[in-house]
Structure 1
Amino acid sequence: MTQPQAAAFDFLLGKWNVRHRRLKERLYGCEDWQEFSGQMHAQPILGGQGNMDDNLLNLPDGPYRAISLRTYDPENDIWAIWWLDNRTPHNLDVPVKGWFEGGKGTFFADDILNGIPIKVRFQWTRIATATPRWEQAFSSDGGLTWEGNWTMDFSKQE
């Protein structure tokens, strides 16, 4: 049986260790990846109609903190996800919007990167396992091609 959309992010609640892998430069043909650790703690909000997480990202250049805010719209059966971090504490990213189907969540947004219009895609996979994965990709050609530029692999903290 398919999990109701309102409970789709329940797999993420709790405390996690995170293994990050991201491109140093995006949409420039860069093949130089950074790998670093992090921690994340996700909890429900809005009576279960949303969740948020507190993140510590241990970048090689120094750590920073961030939050993800996710809310569910039952009328339209869709999730929205925002990102905010302490490097630019007054800049809430454009939300990606989407849903879960077939054990995978896919979310899209239109945004701007270095003055260039792009499409953003988030995907959540392996959600029914002990090691869920988040992936981010950008497209500068309207979604014809995608450059994967960041993955996060999660493992529950003991």
Structure 2
Amino acid sequence: MNPSSAHDFDFLHGRWQVTHRRLKDRLCHCNDWDTFAGLCNSWPVLGGAGNVDDNLLHLPAGSYRAATLRTHDASTGLWSIWWLDGRHPGRLDVPVVGRFHHGVGIFHADDVLAGRPIRVRFRWSETGTPTPLWEQAFSADGGSTWETNWTMRFERTMPPADGAH
């Protein structure tokens, strides 16, 4: 097993154009997707033991900003990932926690959607390619079945400048 490390997200440092694809409604057998553009700028923090990205999402209903904070715990090999939605600046989402294995990152959390408990899964793949992929899925049955409801395909517009933003 290749251990997770503080360098797992180094591929994400820099500036990106993002193509978002998001289900209009979640966990209700919806097959209607919105596709929209976005931008992402990512850089290391905490001496490389974490990273932050600033995101601009151009939803069909209007644009908004969001931020992601990721930290790596060297003692457990686990990453924690928090999302802060600029439309709700006083609320930080519960962190998804997980690790990379052979270049694929899987992260989980327990959360609530419309008053009912759900499992959340983030999946990072194709991280060694010019177009990494992020996917979000929800499960209403404790993880037995999953509905992918959001994908983000990244295309680099500017490489990192010496690890800084």
| Unmatched 5+ stretches in structure 2 | 159-165
TM norm structure 2: 0.93
User: Which amino acid is the alignment partner of residue 17 of structure 1?
Assistant: Q
What per-residue deviation string (whole Å, max 9, x for no partner) do you get for residues 30-58 of structure 1? 11100000000000000100000000000
Distance 1:141 1:3 in 2: 29
Quote the RMSD (CA, aligned, Å). 1.2
User: Which amino acid is the alignment partner of residue 90 of structure 2?
Assistant: H
What per-residue deviation string (whole Å, max 9, x for no partner) do you get for residues 118-158 of structure 1? 00000000000000000000000000000000000000015
Partner of 1:157: helix, strand, or coil?
A: strand
* Deviation >2 Å, runs of 4+: 1-4
User: How many corresponding residue pairs?
Assistant: 158
TM norm structure 1: 0.97
Matches within 5 A, 1:62-81: 62-81=62-81
| Unmatched 5+ stretches in structure 1 | none
Distance 1:12 1:27 in 2: 29
Matches within 5 A, 1:1-150: 2=2, 5-150=5-150
Distance 1:45 1:13 in 2: 11
Percent sequence identity over aligned pairs: 58
User: Which amino acid is the alignment partner of residue 116 of structure 1?
Assistant: R
CA contact (8 A) 2:104 2:125 kept: yes
What per-residue deviation string (whole Å, max 9, x for no partner) do you get for residues 65-105 of structure 1? 00000000001110000000111100100000000001100
